[in-house]
Amino acid sequence: MSGTIDTLHRPSCPVQLDLEGLELQGFSIGGLATYLMVPEWKVCFDIGECPVDAIRYPYVFLTHSHGDHARGLLRHFSLRRMLNIPPAEYFVPDFLVEPLRNLALAWCDLEGHRNRMEYVPEFRALPKRGSVDLNRQLRVATFPVDHRVRSLGFTAQEVRKKLKPEFHGTEGHELGALKRQGVEIETETLHPRLTFIGDTTIRTLEREPHCLDSEILVIETTFILPEDLEMAKPKGHLHLQELFDLLSADPGACRFRHLVLKHFSMKYTRAQIESVVRRRTPDFLKDRVRLLI
C-alpha cells in the first residue's frame, strides 16, 4: 500500500472529470473520504472531506452518516462562518436531523460556544422519496438506498418548461395575466442529468431502475477482485462483478452515457483498479466507464 499513498490517498486533492459538458470534482476511497462537487450547480454531494474549494458551495447533500461521507459537514459550516460567508443549506435524510444537531451541539460545547445557536447549522430534512428545487432549472430528487445504515440517493434533474400548445401565439402580456390568475400555461418535463449514490448494495439498482436513466451515474464499487465477492454484501457494499452482471442482463436499460465508479477499497492499488476494471468491463460499456481515482 505504501507505494500508492501519494496517488490514491490524498482526499484534499479532488479528481476532475468533464462529462457531457458537466464538470465534476471529487474524491472517493472507501473508509477514507467521499465527496463530489459540481461547480455549475454549486452543489456538493457528500462531504467526507472539506477541501478548500468546497467552502464556496452553498448546497450540500448528505447520503448517510458514516464518517467518510459526513465528517466534513461541520468543518464546511465552521469555515464559511469564519470567512463571513452566508450559511450553506445542508440537505440531509430526515432521520439524521436530530443526530446531526446533537453532534453540532456537542462540538459547540467542545469549542466553548455552549448554547450559542448561531454555531449550529440548520439541517433541511429530506424524505426517502421527495424533491427540492434549487432554482427554476434544477431539482434534486431523493430515493432510498440499501446500505448497512439508512441512506438516500440523489438524482439531479434539469427542469424544462414548454408552453402548452393551446397558448401558442398568445401575446406576452396575456400570458402574464393568465399566470397571475393561476392558470397553468406550461408543461414541465424532467431530464435526469446525474444520479449520485453513496454506499450501496446491488439491491438499490434492482429496486430503483430509474438510476440507469441519468446521463451520468455515480456509484460505488468498493470491491473488485473475484475473491472479495462474498465480502461485499455483509459490509453493505457493491462488488464490480455484481454491477456488471446486472447491467449486462439488460444492456438496453443502461441509458446513462457515463458510469463513474468510486469508493474503491484502500487495499487496492491504482494499477490494480485500472487493470481489473479494464478487463471486466463489458464491451457495450467500455466507452462509458470512468474512474474517480
d(CA 290, CA 263): 13
The model's confidence at residue 115, banded by pLDDT at 50, 70 and 90, is confident
Of 4-13, 17-26, 128-137, 147-156, which gets the smallest average pLDDT?
Answer: 4-13
DSSP, collapsed to helix, strand or coil, labels residue 39 as coil
Tell me the residue range of the domain where 37 lies.
2-291
Q: CA distances (Å), 26 to each of 34, 132, 151, in order? A: 7, 23, 20
End-to-end Cα separation, the chain, in angstroms: 15
Domain count, the chain: 1
The percent of residues in the chain predicted with pLDDT above 70, rounded, is 97
The percent of residues in the chain predicted with pLDDT above 90, rounded, is 80
Cα dihedral: 98, 104, 106, 111 (round 10): -170
- What the block records as the C-alpha cell of 293 is 481515482
The one-character DSSP state at 130 is -
- Give the number of other CB atoms < 10 A from CB of residue 272: 15
Contacts of 268 (CB under 8 A, 6+ apart): 224, 225
Q: CA distances (Å), 98 to each of 29, 65, 114, 122, 209, in order? A: 28, 12, 17, 11, 31
Question: pLDDT by residue (tens digit) across 71-88?
Answer: 999 999 999 999 999 999
Higher pLDDT, 93 or 2: 93
pLDDT for position 27 = 96
Domain of 96, CATH number, reads 3.60.15.10
Question: pLDDT by residue (tens digit) across 233-257?
Answer: 899 999 999 999 999 999 999 999 9
Higher pLDDT, 57 or 161: 57
